[in-house]
Amino acid sequence: MKLMHIGDLHLGKSLGEFDLTRDQEYMLDQLLGIVDQQAVDAVLIAGDVYDKAIPSEAATRMLDYFLSNLAQRNVYVYMVSGNHDSDERLNYGSNLFEANHIFISTKYEGNLQKHTLKVGEDETDIYLLPFVKASQVRHFLTEAKIEPYDDAVRAILDQADIDESRNNVLVAHQFVMGKSEDPELSGSESLGTQSVGTVEKIGCDCFDAFDYVALGHIHSPQQVGRREVRYSGSPLKYSLSEVNNEKSVPIITVCGKGKVEIELVPIRPMRNMRHLKGELKVLLDKSNVTAPEDFIYATLTDEEIISDAMGIFQQIYPNTVKIDYDNSHTREIEQVDISKIAENRSFDELISDFYRQMYGCEISEEEMDVMRTVAREAGVLHEAG
């Protein structure tokens, strides 16, 4: 049997001021095309289906379109919620969905949900583990000793009494680490994951009973530990740190107990995301301009700050998301010890030094007044004048 593993769709997401609805619709159609080409029997969706807990109308419409098309193809769907999803909203209509072979698990309620997929004479048990917190697990498994987050997931799996003689697949949205290192982070998941230290990390050996583990939460496609424990990654690039990612969809063929084949099928976006670096005139020279509709992050190496650089850039690349600088001034600032600079210095002195380093000239009194006003409104400056 063939399974397609996807996750971190983030339907309804925008990129800066740019709406991604058309890009996500294009991506969903491409996924449906892969389902047809690969003769997929079931789709595993590993959480963060929506970008926000309260999804937009466009986001819910896209999910309805995708699930309806899978149901029309008689393709089974196994979906769990992620930390971006609302349990209630993603679970809405789940009983009706089951009649069309769409199975959704959005909240852990004391048991690991299990469904058996049968294709011909072959059977695979598919387990669904939505995003959980240790406190949720303690509420139901009162006898289990649960301290770190890893304990909570192990307790859930122990209680599930998994028959290891059968084909077993798990769909989960968690932060899973290898035996010696963490997965490669990128995008919006980075900050939240790094801030929890080791508390919410799960060892990949936790999943040894499973022939394949379909993970969501990390946007960079990769295996964790063994090749059968895998993050599909987000199907689109959602941040600058993902510009070098080669997005793909894992197609898993279960050939029998312990026999799993994995093929990574590339996904091509409607509009790519690229990072350009160099002087503005060089980057925008006609001979260097390619794919102007792509989403662009630009790093300018010009020594002087260019007035309305964004406006100039968007005349050529209308979907420019962000512009920053890498020159002698910015590198000098990066090497400065901020704590020592701020020590025994007034607000005016700090702003004057910063302005001088950035622009190579003195700040005017009028400009300083503006900075003082902004600082007071932000609560940084408390003096009267």
Q: What are phi and psi of 114, to 5 degrees?
A: -130, 140
Whole-number pLDDT of residue 69: 97
Name beta bridge partners: 297. Answer: 275, 322
The pLDDT of residue 106 is 86
CB atoms within 10 A of CB 86: 15
Sign of the torsion formed by the C-alpha atoms of 186, 189, 192 and 193: negative
Domain ranges of the chain: 2-266, 273-377
Which among 167, 151, 252, 156 has a CA at the least distance from the CA of 209?
167
**E strand or H helix at 61:** helix 57-72
Q: Give pTM, 2 decimals.
A: 0.81
| Alpha-carbon span 5 to 280, nearest angstrom | 41
Query: Tell me, what DSSP letter sits at residue 221?
Result: -
Per residue in 267-289, pLDDT (tens digit) is 999 999 999 999 999 999 999 99
Q: How far apart are CA 252 and CA 1, in angstroms?
A: 8
Rounded to an integer, what distance in angstroms lies between the CA atom of residue 169 and that of residue 115?
A: 10
- The predicted-structure confidence for 212-234, as pLDDT tens digits, reads as follows 999 999 999 999 989 999 999 99
Which of 222, 199, 183, 155 has its CA nearest to residue 5?
Answer: 222
Q: What is the C-alpha separation between 60 and 66, in angstroms, rounded? A: 10
**Regions of the chain where pLDDT drops below 50:** 190-199, 385
pLDDT of residue 195: 37
Predicted confidence at residue 199, as pLDDT, reads 42
Per-residue pLDDT, 385: 42
- For 229, the enclosing helix (H) or strand (E) is strand 226-231
Query: Residues 208, 214: contact at Cβ < 8 Å?
Result: no
- What is the distance between the alpha carbons of residues 109 and 338, in angstroms, rounded to a whole number? 49
| Cα–Cα distance, 35 to 37 (Å, whole number) | 6
- Say how far apart CA 23 and CA 319 lie, in whole Å: 13
262: helix, strand or coil: strand
User: Are the beta carbons of 153 and 177 closer than 8 angstroms?
Assistant: no
With 0-12 CB in 10 A as exposed, 13-18 as middle and 19+ as buried, what is 354? middle
Q: What's the pLDDT score for residue 310?
A: 95
pLDDT at 192: 43
Question: Which CATH fold would you assign to the domain 2-266?
Answer: Purple Acid Phosphatase; chain A, domain 2 (3.60.21)
Interhelix angle 365-377/347-359, rounded to 10 degrees, is: 120
